Amino acid sequence: MTTHTLPGLVDVHVHLRVPGGEHKETVATGTAAALAGGVTAVLAMPNTSPPITDVVTLDAARAAHRDALCDVGLFLGATDSNAADAAAAAEGACGLKIYVNETFGPLRIEHLAALAAHFASWPRGRPIVLHAERVAVAAALGLAVTYGQRVHIAHVSRAEEVRLIADAKAAGLPVTCELTPHHLFLTEDDLPALGPFGVMRPPLATPADRDALWAHLDAVDCIATDHAPHTREEKLGDTPPPGVPGLETLLPLMLTAVHAGRLTLDRLVALTSTTPARLFGIRTPEESSVEVEIGPAWTLPERGYRTKPDWSPFAGMTVRGRVLATTLRGQMAYADGRVRAAPGSGRVLFG
């Protein structure tokens, strides 16, 4: 067994469900899950109720996250009509999120003119994150070059997508991307066992897609969870909503990959902490770290998570990594299986 001290993780893709989805997750449960997973800063997505689309909804959401246990940045969401409002609110947000493909919630851009308006209006150099699948990745690249913006492609899941992004980077295009642990560790072959608990967007892909993600890890900038909690009852209903929790299983899974020699610990730190912090302009909090253990095998449980729905698509998997303790600004925030951070230990970032 070896223990290591790493910088606190920055997870650039998390759904805290606040406001409007507090039966799925609250600021308290979501940020507790983050600290238990070694994550000291999360960037929260805007597909809430109401969605975060302008300075009024952003300010309300910022106030609602005041008691966060870890640092939180908030995304603005793009709609077909809010390009000017989103740009005007940019200072208080960690970036603009544009949904080009189907997702959970009401935010989805259907019209090219609206996409172009956002790319033209959004402050240059501030992050634009796209949920773009398949051919929409190419559209995002074209918009970036056309308008002098940098784009970040969320949760890349298919071989054709990661190959295009690798080629675009080699050609010098201003694109970065993230992968999720569920697309690295699960495939459509797991769907019969997972049932509705394996339903997500983008959907679980083929084993060949998964292998291509691992093979192109050099072209990837971040690993982000896309932590997207829904209750067990919702998942077992007639139309299970897409999304799975992931904050507490990110490091156990990725440290297992380190143990297996699939990537180095230094590379994992770059993917989960230093590069996401740099891309999104986040100063990692001083005196913040996560102590991890690599080696002993243990099984991810069915229950016992801090995330409110308390289930995991990875339950039953044998892993070889564990978070022992998380420190935030010199305070013990998580240790011995207990979250110790006080409400308000985290900061609402930007603005």
Which CB sits closer to Zn ion, 183 or 320? 183
CB of 12 to Zn ion, least distance (A): 10
Strands 338-339 and 331-335: antiparallel
Which CB sits closer to Zn ion, 178 or 226? 226
Which CB sits closer to Zn ion, 202 or 285? 202
Q: How would DSSP label each residue in 298-334?
A: EE--SS--SSTT---TTTT-EEEEEEEEEEETTEEEE
Tokens 């230094």 locate to 266
At 175 the three-state DSSP class reads: strand
What is the number of alpha carbons within 13 Å of residue 211 lying toward its C-beta?
A: 3
42 forms beta bridges with 11, 72
Exactly one of 22, 226, 248, 293 binds Zn ion (CB under 5 A); that residue is 226
Q: Which stretch binds Zn ion (CB under 5 A): 134-142, 210-218, 221-229, 274-282?
A: 221-229
Which CB sits closer to Zn ion, 97 or 322? 97
How many C-beta atoms lie closer than 10 Å to residue 336's C-beta? 8
Which CB sits closer to Zn ion, 25 or 226? 226
Looking only at residues 108 through 147 of this chain, which bind Zn ion when binding is defined by CB under 5 A? none
**159, 208 Cβ separation under 8 angstroms:** yes
CB of 347 to Zn ion, least distance (A): 22
Residue nearest to Zn ion (CB): 226
> Total residues contacting Zn ion (rule CB under 5 A)?
1
Which CB sits closer to Zn ion, 42 or 70? 42
At 28 the three-state DSSP class reads: helix
At 234 the three-state DSSP class reads: helix
Q: Which stretch binds Zn ion (CB under 5 A): 22-30, 79-87, 212-220, 223-231?
A: 223-231
Q: Which stretch binds Zn ion (CB under 5 A): 26-34, 61-69, 218-226, 273-281?
A: 218-226
Q: What is the dihedral of CA 158, 122, 75, 42, to 10 degrees?
A: 70
Q: Which stretch binds Zn ion (CB under 5 A): 169-177, 182-190, 224-232, 297-305?
A: 224-232
Where does this chain bind Zn ion (CB under 5 A)?
Answer: 226
